[in-house]
């Protein structure tokens, strides 16, 4: 699980961060910020590091002093190690400060390998994290300039996120 946690830290920076996209309604109802998060996650699931990195600001610096280049290296390492990953966006809450800046709170579930298929056997739903992302709009669209994240137990997730997890993993709850 250390590898999953390390990847989650990496992916959070981008607001990431969809092969199995659920939780935020249809694409037509999503805000530009939500769309950016879904596109970033899709890029990771598709192993497209170049596309994913477009969602990270060139001046990105997080609380652990990781830069955009550090994030690239972590994502590449993770994708080389785990060929099959699942990322489920459980919930996104955006608070626009103005037309150029926003704070985003997202709960995202990660697993690698065939976690969803094995969930019936091992009663696992993967790892869930809550991200706080500071984003800004640039010429490309919305990008992450700073991020914080924390692992969340099932009991700590927002009710909307638990509902999505129950739909994704009905035999586990």
Tokens of 147: 């991020």
Tokens of 121: 């056997």
Q: Tokens 């490309």 correspond to what residue? A: 140
pLDDT at 17: 35
160 within some domain: yes
Tokens of 68: 């955009």
**Spatial separation of the C-alpha atoms in residues 92 and 161, rounded to whole Å:** 9
173 within some domain: no
42 within some domain: yes
Farthest CA pair distance, the chain: 47
Give the torsion through C-alpha atoms of 158, 35, 16, 61, to 10 deg.
-110
Query: For the chain, which ranges sit under pLDDT 70?
Result: 1-29, 113-124, 173
Q: How many domains does the chain contain in total?
A: 1
pLDDT at 157: 96
pLDDT at 110: 86
Give the structural domain span for 39.
Answer: 2-168
Q: For 109-140, give the DSSP string.
A: EEEETTHHHHHHHH----EEEEEEEEEEE-SS
CATH number, position 76: 3.10.450.50
pLDDT at 140: 80
Query: HSE of 18 in the Cβ direction (CA atoms, 13 Å)?
Result: 23
Q: Does the CA dihedral 94-127-61-21 come out positive or negative? A: negative
């Amino acid at each position: 699980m250390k590898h999953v946690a390390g990847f989650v830290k990496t992916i959070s920076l981008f607001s990431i961060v969809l092969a199995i996209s659920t939780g935020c309604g249809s694409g037509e109802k999503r805000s530009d910020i939500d769309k950016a998060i879904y596109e970033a996650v899709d890029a990771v699931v598709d192993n497209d590091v170049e596309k994913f990195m477009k969602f990270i600001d060139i001046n990105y610096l997080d609380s652990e002093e990781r830069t955009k280049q550090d994030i690239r290296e972590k994502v590449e390492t993770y994708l080389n190690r785990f060929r099959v990953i699942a990322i489920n966006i459980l919930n996104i809450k955006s608070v626009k400060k103005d037309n150029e800046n926003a704070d985003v709170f997202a709960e995202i579930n990660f697993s690698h390998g065939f976690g969803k298929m094995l969930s019936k056997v091992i009663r696992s739903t993967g790892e869930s994290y809550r991200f706080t992302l500071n984003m800004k709009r640039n010429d490309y669209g919305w990008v992450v300039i700073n991020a914080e994240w924390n692992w969340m137990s099932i009991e700590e997730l927002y009710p909307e996120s638990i509902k999505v997890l129950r739909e994704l993993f009905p035999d586990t709850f």
